[in-house]
Chain A
């Protein structure tokens, strides 16, 4: 496969559906300028392998490169991947061996040349971390048997079984490539507090709680449209601003140009109204699913009828229409990212409990189920996160829906730390706003959330369902798309309908209003993706 060739994977096309995506290719990129980004979260550490938050990705990703990445010019595609530190790759006929040719003449920011040993050391840290070393997405790589450096500039992955989930997992934006020298010299925790990558920008400074600053890396390995080395920008500053009003005002006052997570619809409208053409908006479905789960450790929620009733009480179609005006949620869907080839079609969804358009019938049935389970007029407590968008908005809507079933509802809202602690350690919540946010759209891997709780650490409903575990394994091992689709339907039906282990409410919806003179950035279906900034330029 040639360097410029886009890497198509087995999962197939996955229609690009950029909503309002801006065509930027027509104008020739200009060089120079500083990009000011506002970031609504803090940096727990610099180590991408360990962290899971955009608060780290947005300021730190530009310092690093990946082996392969989602095509920055076509990030809406769920199957379009391009080489970053590799030049090309090949797949064996049985789909179990992938060989990557690594770029030569790439140097880390400290001057160390990149070789296949660096890729191998990085992948070993990610896939086979030693005890005590956190690798948050280790579970993505259950199919990998070995990673070997088969030449100075060649790396070979051997898989236990062929699967379409491998390449998307490899393109995860958290997979920063580290120098073997750093890992050997300083240990596996050095990158939590230190930065040395091959990314488009080099680290200048980090003022904790204020900003991170990077400057252009002159020896970056990718070329721009003008034939010179990228990036186009002289540098960037990622400014920490947890309050949304401050982020909005920063863009409005042109003190910052962009925020990469999302703003709610009202903020978009206000910015557009105030600044007109000076603001460009890109929108996209978002690979984050929001719903609720009931804690099956509690007797109250062990009766499947109760869980089914709670799901049937939600007016998903009506809620989508109105909540999309005030919150960053929109699309009604199942367990698979909407529009992906493995996602259920609307008519299939409507066969599931809670997805009928006949709300009155659903609510009547839900009341009957509650009565049969002895839960008529019972109290239900919802655990929620103290984050407005979309958690508290969706939570308030959900409580209103359950009230219509005659339930007495209360809500506990906790800041992020105590919120996680409650359902990860204490595990004493009744129901909770539950989510599954991923980077690269990879349903075969993303669906691992609904495995039994002794397998999936993010199963907060605390159930064990071996049938789901079996289907998940089958789904991942089959190379046949049609079969994967068929198994996914059974898997989804069991989760949402038969056992009601989880209830999807909506998929998130990403809205990015930004200064129109920022060019070259294309919205992706995740706030983790496309943040290398090497293709971004300022039309000033």
Chain B
């Protein structure tokens, strides 16, 4: 039996990838240049968030009125705000807030959506019908309105902000995962698992969930960018995290109205940070989708 036969039409070189991980990454970056830019931005943001205590030049919450509203300079690279706080420092610490809220919300939302979507597809029938109508109703509300309603009712403590951002992600994820899970449900090995008497939980968790991980990962990565944007929007509207916690939307809110003309840096740099982070996660999410989706991969 020849090697060509073994690989079912692929050349041996294609079948056995002998490239180093760096070469593989370089190849991936060539094929997905925007995704690579996104990955660099995401990685940069993670490094900023993790290393904030080490790399920040100042304390993010220390007021220093002697240096209020100083423009970008050698000492304050991105200037200071109206309380004399270093904007670069607050952006670095703000990355921690954005990433924490974004990751936690996206993970909770996407994972809850995953479990509910697969369960809905697996059980079908009335449960599926009712659940999907519930999802339809949920999706009819504009995301920002729903989030505002939640923080208005429960308050704007960090865990409620996360809840407000998490809830709109759930129906999105559940709907997409369900459509994939419906196909998997019809594959014989699921029937085989049923025939062997496995419990519903075992079939869903061990046999169906792993097979919908690709759409899950795509939704998860895409949702992070959206979650960061939503957190910034809530903070900008005064309904998200509160002072003195450094958060990009809050920084924008504090500076945009009063200082945009005379001290542009107060609003500009936090806004730019939000734009970069959302762009980074969206491009990274698109690249993940392209890599994980077999149809797109073949193209």
Contact = CB atoms under 8 A, between A and B. Distances in A.
Interface stretch (A224-232, A294-302, A371-379, A391-399): A391-399
Given A264-B258, A269-B262, A403-B61, A322 B243 contact: no
Nearest to B153: A418
Interface in B138-171: 152, 155-157
A245 B238 contact: no
A266 B68 contact: no
Contacts of A388: 254, 257
B32 interface: no
Contacts of A411: 242-244
Nearest to A395: B243
Contact of B259 (A243, A266, A323, A414): A266
A267 B259 CA distance: 9
Interface of B: 61-63, 65, 68, 82-83, 152, 155-157, 238-239, 242-244, 254, 257-259, 261-262
Q: Which 5 A-B pairs have the closest CB atoms?
A: A322-B65, A400-B63, A396-B243, A326-B82, A245-B257
Contacts of A410: 242
Given A267-B258, A400-B63, A415-B238, 9 more contacts: A266-B258, A318-B65, A326-B68, A396-B83, A396-B243, A399-B243, A400-B244, A403-B62, A412-B242
Contacts of A326: 68, 82-83, 258
A480 interface: no
A433 B63 CA distance: 19
Interface in A293-333: 318, 321-323, 325-326
Interface string A388-431: 10001101110110010000011111110010000000000000
A34 interface: no
Given A267-B258, A270-B262, A399-B244, A412 B155 contact: yes
Contact of A397 (B63, B152, B238, B254): B63
B261 A400 contact: no
A244 B244 contact: no
Contacts of B254: 388
Contacts of A21: none
Interface of A: 243-245, 264, 266-267, 269-270, 318, 321-323, 325-326, 384, 386, 388, 392-393, 395-397, 399-400, 403, 409-415, 418
A386 B157 CA distance: 14
A266 to B, nearest CB: 5
A400 B258 contact: no
Given A270-B262, A409-B244, A411-B242, A400 B61 contact: yes
Nearest to B84: A322
Contacts of A245: 257
Q: Which interface residue of B63, B254, B259 has the most chain A CB atoms within 10 A?
A: B63
B68 A322 contact: yes
Contacts, number: 66
B262 A414 contact: no
Nearest to B263: A266
B238 A386 contact: yes
A244 B61 CA distance: 26
B46 to A, nearest CB: 26
B216 to A, nearest CB: 35
Contacts of B65: 318, 321-323
B256 to A, nearest CB: 8
Contacts of A267: 258
A4 B258 CA distance: 44
B243 to A, nearest CB: 5
A397 B61 CA distance: 10
A392 B243 contact: yes
A321 B257 CA distance: 22
A411 B244 CA distance: 8
Contacts of A386: 238-239
Contacts of B262: 266, 269-270
B50 to A, nearest CB: 22
A508 to B, nearest CB: 17
Contacts of B62: 400, 403
A413 B239 CA distance: 8
A397 B62 CA distance: 10
Contacts of B63: 396-397, 400
B238 A412 contact: no
B259 A412 contact: no
A392 B257 CA distance: 14
A395 B254 CA distance: 13
Q: Which interface residue of B61, B83, B258 has the most chain A CB atoms within 10 A?
A: B258
B52 to A, nearest CB: 18
A393 B257 CA distance: 14
Contacts of B61: 399-400, 403
